[in-house]
Amino acid sequence: MDQNFVKKFLKASISTSAGTLASVAFHFLSITLMARFTTKEALGLYFLIIAIANGGKILSSLGLDLTLVQFLVSEQQDIQQQTFAAVMWIRLLTLVLFTAVVYLFGSFVLSQFDENIVPYKWSLPVLFALMSFRELFFYILQGLQNFRSYAVIQTISALLKCILIGIFIFSSSLDLMTLINIEFLTLGSSLLLQFWVIPFKSLSPPRLLFDTSILPRIFRFGLPLYANSTLSYISNYGAVFIISVFLSPLGIAAYEVARKIPEGLARFFNSFRVVYFPSLSSLFAKGDFKNGQKLVNKSLTLLAAGTFALVLFSLLFRREIVIFVFSDKYLEVQTTFVVLMLSVCFHLLAGTMGYSLVSAGHPKQSMIVNIIAMGLELLLSLLLIPQVGYFGAAISYVVMTLLSQVMCYFYLRQAGVDINLSVYLRPFILLGVISTGYLLIGYEALLFRIAVFGVYVTLSLLFIPECRRAINFVLRLVQERKLETGPVRV
């Protein structure tokens, strides 16, 4: 691949990863404080309210967030301005509609999940508005490839949330209303920072007016993406709603706590995605199919090797992790936590394949994958959650994400993007063999578990060439920067 492209891609990924790593660290600290100082019932209701507000955000997007990213990367300025204006007006319209729906039908709908959240229905339109525009503006930063600002704002927002939680812990109590107010303040601060760094004047046409002829084009591109995001939302939060129906807020709290660390991993992956998607789209838009395919294969292999290392670490130290992060009152979730870690890793790989399909101009195939996989997950969740509790949701998620990978692989082949299975499957084999051996032996000594993890890292470096190349490339890049030597060669 072209060395300048690789260096630019890597530097952007490192920049966003560093910011997201700090953001995820503060996010974990926030969850730790909430899990330790909030009752399980209040925490469960908070997670349910956030899930509902996120639903409004996703349903209102109409797939236009990623459409705007695509147009900011590949279109002329006048088309970019027309698209921006159209998306802004549509977002304002959906905010009005969502608010009307909440006030007309909110009490009835919310009571089907839990009567205790009905008094808080007023917070949903506010949360929706803040979440919706915050997400849209983050996508604009992605389309403008302003990854540094993206990472900085994420970090400041996560840090502010930690500070606010700490203040309320020592000044009052961390009840449900307090958690909602903290969410208001955190989201609002992100919006203020985004308004400061985004060049709205250059993005906006005069008086924010647009030619309606742009609408069919953006909807034609955006609707398959809308279906994908809607299905992804149902996959991510469907289990929460099913648990709320069959179990209680306590079950929601346990399940959500179990998936907070895997969710943090998914958030960290987002720093890769915001660079990967526009970069790959740019390559395919230029007709550089060869380098585009190389980027897909390198990304998938490294992502599998890295995330599976985290899965193995979670399996080996599951008890210590749960106690350290959430306290011993959540020890019951340790097995579910490990299964969800594996599920999220599968999901990240399938998501990368899905974004690759969209970048190659095949968003409909990605939508088909999500429809089939989500349907299977919902069916399994409805069958398993009443039988085995929230652990059934974790099992359903594993099956769904594994099926998504298989389907995406075949659609990528049809699109002419060949995945090198002989390399891609090596992390799968290593994880399967090493984790199975550890479970069969059943020896829990600390040094033994550390040695097991060391075996995975060593074998990954020996048998996965991309791991060695990535490490060598980063080392050479660092050396080049420090010693100001010649250009890095890959």
For the stretch 117-144, pLDDT in tens is 888 888 888 898 898 888 888 888 877 7
Segment among 224-238, 300-314, 458-472 with least mean pLDDT: 224-238
* Phi, psi dihedrals of residue 443, rounded to the nearest 5°: -90, 125
Predicted pLDDT of residue 75: 61
Predicted pLDDT of residue 488: 46
CA angle 307, 461, 8 (to 5 degrees): 65
3-state secondary structure of 393: helix
Dihedral through CA 382, CA 386, CA 388, CA 391, nearest 10?
50
* Separation of first and last alpha carbons in the chain: 7
Q: What is the pLDDT of residues 22-51, one digit of tens each?
A: 777 787 788 888 888 888 888 888 888 888
b/e per residue 200-239 (b: at least 16 CB within 10 A): eeebebeeeebeeebeebbbebbbbbbbbbbbbbbbbbbb
**Rounded Cα distance, 27 and 150, in Å:** 16
**Rounded Cα distance, 168 and 170, in Å:** 5
pTM above 0.85, yes or no: no
pLDDT at position 11 over 60:
no
pLDDT band at 180 (very low <50, low <70, confident <90, very high): very high
